[in-house]
């Protein structure tokens, strides 16, 4: 399994009674695949996974796994916690269900890069599915630099990284210049997708691609085929759209826009998130 193109980290839509709106989730999954997405991500940050119950998380995975079977699509599932043993237990249930697991660098613990390597070494040994490292230091408090990611990427089960460091930093440039073999450096910050694709990233995990999915897929294809003029034009426009979608905490604005377009039953999010302001939602709608 290789990971490339635009993978969409699906929101978790809620019904008026606060329950997971499974039918709306299934519809979104099919819609982004119809638009050209190369795969789906369930239970990522965009899914509000931390605020879902275990029963709700299972329901979300069941819906996405069904779409995976029907469409032959790639499915990545967010899994794990700060602890290595707990993460290994969560991964155990994904065999035969997902193509890979998205596993964050341990948060709060701040184990240092040696501890991060030890964490993924143990998970690589125990996981029934390939692993994609979620490197998002502004959420976890623990950075993983290019040298550490090369060591982690050499592990048997590790197949890529979602690189979400808040920009195009020196480590990202260095990693893209010399990645491990069969290791995908995926853009994880929507606004910098085009920049990372230009530097050689094979794709990205892109929440904003719920909207204008075909344009995001075209952006990836334009860089892949060497059509730089088209890629730059698309990239500038879609980066502006992504910045507007992330004007408030993810996925509040995105849910407001999807609701305004009639694609989900409510714009509701779970506390401690608060619904996006109307002005933020309208700013995205104007760009669309």
> Within a 10 A sphere around the Cβ of 110, how many other Cβ atoms?
14
CA dihedral sign, ordered 215, 221, 224, 229: negative
- At 56, list the tokens: 């709700």
Contact partners, residue 230, CB within 8 Å, separation at least 6: 218, 222
Q: CA-CA distance, 137 to 166, in Å (whole number)?
A: 9
State the binding site: 46, 205
> Which token pair is 30?
């099919």
Any alpha helices (H) in the chain, and if so which ranges? 22-34, 54-71, 84-92, 112-126, 137-140, 146-153, 170-177, 193-198, 213-225, 228-245, 252-260, 278-287
Which residues are CB-contacts of 214 (< 8 A; sequence separation ≥ 6)?
35, 36
Distance CA 145, CA 286 (A): 38
Which residue numbers are catalytic? 134, 162
Per the annotation, binding residues for pyruvate are 46, 205
Structure tokens at 29: 């999954």
DSSP string, 264-287: SS-----TT--PPPHHHHHHHHHH
Are 238 and 215 within 8 A, CB to CB?
yes
């Amino acid at each position: 399994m290789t990971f490339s193109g635009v993978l969409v980290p699906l929101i978790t839509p809620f019904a008026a009674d606060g329950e997971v709106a499974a039918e709306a989730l299934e519809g979104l999954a099919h819609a982004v695949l119809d638009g050209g997405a190369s795969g789906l991500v369930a239970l990522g940050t965009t899914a509000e996974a931390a605020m879902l119950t275990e029963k709700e998380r299972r329901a979300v995975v069941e819906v996405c796994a069904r779409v995976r079977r029907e469409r032959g699509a790639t499915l990545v599932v967010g899994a794990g916690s700060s602890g290595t043993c707990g993460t290994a237990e969560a991964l155990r249930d994904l065999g035969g269900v997902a193509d890979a697991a998205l596993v964050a660098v341990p948060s709060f613990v701040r184990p240092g890069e040696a501890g991060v390597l030890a964490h993924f070494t143990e998970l690589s040994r125990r996981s029934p599915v390939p692993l994609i490292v979620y490197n998002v230091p502004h959420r976890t408090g623990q950075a993983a630099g290019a040298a550490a990611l090369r060591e982690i990427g050499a592990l048997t089960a590790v197949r890529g990284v979602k690189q979400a460091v808040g920009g195009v930093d020196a480590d990202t440039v260095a990693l893209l210049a010399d990645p491990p073999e069969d290791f995908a450096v995926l853009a994880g910050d929507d606004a910098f997708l085009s920049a990372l694709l230009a530097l050689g990233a094979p794709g990205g995990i892109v929440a904003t691609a719920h909207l204008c999915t075909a344009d995001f897929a075209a952006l990836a294809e334009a860089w892949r085929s060497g059509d730089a003029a088209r890629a730059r034009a698309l990239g500038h426009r879609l980066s502006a759209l992504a910045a507007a979608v992330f004007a408030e905490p993810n996925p509040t604005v995105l849910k407001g826009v999807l609701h305004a377009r009639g694609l989900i039953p409510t714009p509701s999010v779970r506390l401690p998130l608060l619904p996006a302001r109307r002005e933020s939602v309208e700013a995205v709608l104007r760009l669309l």
